[in-house]
A = this chain, B = another copy of it.
Amino acid sequence: MSERIYTAGLVVIGDEILSGRTHDRNIAQVASWLQVQGIRLAEVRVVPDVIERIVEAVDALRTANDYLFTTGGIGPTHDDITVDAIAAALGVPVVIHPQARAILERYYADKGGLTEGRLRMARVPEGAELIPNRMSGAPGIAIGNIRMMAGVPHIAAQMLDSLTGTLEGGAPLLSETVGGYIPESEVAVLLREVEKAHENCQIGSYPFFREGRVGANFVIRSTDADALQSCLHTLCEGLGELGFDFTPGGI
């Protein structure tokens, strides 16, 4: 198993997210999916439907990471320009993918046929492959380390499902959680000291307010199973010494 941690960037494309009209749900689903693949989501950028802005974000994140995912902007309308932006970033022309065209022809055969708008969804940067999509006709697009997905969350989910297990990943990130009705401000020093004492571990603190009481879950993350268990042990010991009740697995 490789020790290297693979990373991914995500570019969310769409004026509708930046205007507040649509609440993004792709960041969370891409993040959760990557976590399970053993790939760490390193950064997300949300950019408008402006080709230069998409190119800039795509270039920054595709070179800084092992993978780059995009959501949005691959539909049939004139404001769907993700394919053009990726082609520009890679310096390749946009072409009609024959298999994508065939898929769309079949899908729209009894729905009025392939209009000019619909044919746009067969456009890909030259050299790209398709990401199957069982929900609607239009496929996602894979080229190099880039994976372009739909903006509609349940279609993006289908495309992620098609990609499961296809990416070379790093060591899975392991985690342990412990939680309790513990005000995080009373254990801030403990958390910092425990994290400092366990080099390969990261401790996140997630406060909550339930039934009139404050509390927090503490999540330790590491790719090293032994370090993780040692860190968990030290943290639980520390919480006990401070007189707090805690629940393994979190509450």
Whether A185 touches B115, Cβ cut-off 8 Å, given contacts A46-B43, A207-B75, A207-B152, is: yes
Q: A199 at the A/B interface (Cβ < 8 Å)?
A: no
Of A20-28, A164-172, A229-237, the segment with at least 4 beta carbons within 8 Å of chain B is A20-28
- Nearest neighbor of A194 in chain B, beta-carbon distance: B78
> Does A52 sit within 8 A of B, measured CB to CB?
no
Please, which residue of chain B has its CB at the minimum distance from the CB of A28?
B23
Give chain B nearest CB distance to A116 CB in angstroms.
6
Q: How many copies does the complex hold?
A: 2
A191 and B77: CB pair below 8 A? yes
Contact call A44/B42, Cβ cutoff below 8 A: no
CA A47 to CA B29, docked complex, whole Å: 16
Task: Let me know if A76 and B184 touch, CB within 8 A.
Answer: yes
Cross-chain contact B188 with A116 (CB below 8 angstroms):
yes
The B-contacting residues of A in range 186-231, CB under 8 angstroms, are 186-189, 191-192, 195, 202-207, 219, 221
Q: Which among B17, B118, B204 is the interface contact of A79 at CB below 8 angstroms? A: B204
- Known contacts A76-B184, A184-B117, A43 near B35 by CB under 8 Å: no
Measured CB to CB, the residues of A under 8 A from B are 12, 15-25, 27-35, 40-49, 53, 57, 75-79, 111-112, 115-118, 120, 152, 173, 183-189, 191-192, 195, 202-207, 219, 221
